[in-house]
Structures are given as C-alpha cells and as structure tokens.
Structure 1
Amino acid sequence: MSTLEEHVDIDVPIDTAWDSLHRVETYPQFLEGVRQARSEGDGSRAHLNVYAGGRAQEFDAEIVDYGDERLMEWQTTGGPELSGTFSLLPIDREHTRVQARIEYDPGAVKDAFGGPKGFAQANAIERLVRSDLEHFKELAEQAR
C-alpha cells in the first residue's frame, strides 16, 4: 500500500469545515471525477458515481466519524481498494487545517482508473488530491 498525506488551511471555523465535509451531495463540486454522490443509511455510507480512466464506475464507501476528535475515516467497498482519513485541526477560531491521508494500492488504482504507473502515478495522485483539497477550501469558504 502507498500512503499520501496532504493538507490545506481554510478560512472558516472548524464546525463550518466539518459540516462542509459531511455534505456528501457536494462531493462532485470538489472531487475530480465524481459525477454524483449521495449519503445512504444513517450517513455511514456514501454511494459515488465516478468517471475516471475513460469509463464510468460506481462504488460505495463506508464512513466512520469521530466527531469529538473531528476525524472522518473512510474505505471503499465494492470498488478499487482505497481508504483514508480527514482530520480537522483548529488553527484559531476562524481558521482550520484539513489534513487528508489516503492509502491505496497502486496496481488497483491503475486497473480501476487507468493512468501512469510508478512514480508518475504517485505524482498524478498527489496533484489530484492537492487540487481536490483546494476545491474543498473554496467550497467551504463560500458556505460561510
């Protein structure tokens, strides 16, 4: 498994960032390739319709919240093996750091989504995650 860690500082209080992270229906607005997303059940699952690697795919993700710690863990089910965490840390009353940690099997990602292999793949995934975090920042800051 490979691990990627990125973070972004956003200009909103931690509660606003936490609420924005939990609006599954807005995921297509900041996650590249996600065409549609919906929360299922009691909010512990998300269903994602994704277009990547030249093909449409659907898969689910299990979500575990640790609200008091402002930590969300997720893991895909029935699709490419991906998992990760989002940690929110207060910088001060009006600013929050969002840390993303993603674990993935490079071979499974290539099989599921196409793209380069090896070092080029790691760079592409890093750029994608960084871009997604910047788009999340924009979305959360507009929600104020």
Structure 2
Amino acid sequence: MHQQPVTVQSGQPSIRRRIIQDVDPQEYKRIRKLWIDHSRAEDARDIPGLIATLSESCVYELIPTGQRWEGHDGARDFYLTFLGAFPDVHFEVYDIVIGPQGVTEFAEMTGTHLGPWAGLEATGRPVSVKIIIYFPWNRAAQKFDGEKVYFDMAEMMRQLQ
C-alpha cells in the first residue's frame, strides 16, 4: 500500500521528500546568507531584522520546555522575552550544517539571567549551556520557518538556582 507523504509545518513536504532534494548551489548561498543576516540581526538585537528572515508561518519551539510561538507576532514575543531574560546573550558557534532543508547550528550559549524566562524569575546568575538550533528552510517563501531549540534544561536550571 502506498501512502501519501506526511506534511509538516506550513505545508512543507515530508522528510522523505526533503531528504532527496538536490543541493542547488544558488539556494545554498541564499540559505547561508539569510542565516548570516539572521545571526547579525540577533547580535544587534534588531527584532525587525530577525523577523525579516522568517516566513509568515514560522514557528519557534523550545523543545525542553514544550513552549511554542507561532507566526511573526509569536517570533517577536519569543525574542522580546528571550532577549529581555538574557540581554547579554552570546552564541559561540562551534559547528554548523547548511543544506536544502535548512541550517543546524551547534553553539555554546552564555548570558546572565536578568528577566523572567521559562517560568523562572530573574536570578542574576550567569549561564553557559550547549545548544542546538535547527532553522527549517521554507523553499517557497525563501525564508526560515522558525527555530527548533534543543538544550539541557536540567543543566540550565542547575546553573540558575
């Protein structure tokens, strides 16, 4: 029995379809440039610049907490909350994968917890955790479909308490 491919967020093709996509050098350059633009906007705390790199159907997910923000308004809320909680946040990227499915970034995130975040009031404590961020690529929109963020929540909470 042949099954139709399952679709994921915003009507994107299933992983079976995405994994066989050819790597188009021009698309690779667009994805890489947009990730650089996104990273520079985040470093500059430029919320409109960040939103400009995202599809309208973007979704932000913190996998360890189960929190989810949808659309440009959701992404804006995510960044205002996150950057308010860790205004000095820094990502030291130590590995990156770029392909037709998007970008996966491996980094050490450091910052000082100065605002409410993930149900925890500000502690004023420094934090340093390894983090993996997946930026799914929306080929139709030529933008990122948000971020899926993975980190060790127990390690972060240990540092913040």
Flag the structure with larger Rg.
2
TM-score range, shorter chain: 0.3 to 0.5
Specify which structure has the bigger relative contact order, considering alpha-carbon pairs within 8 angstroms and separated by 6 or more residues: 1
TM-score (norm 1): 0.40
Q: Which has the higher strand share?
A: 1
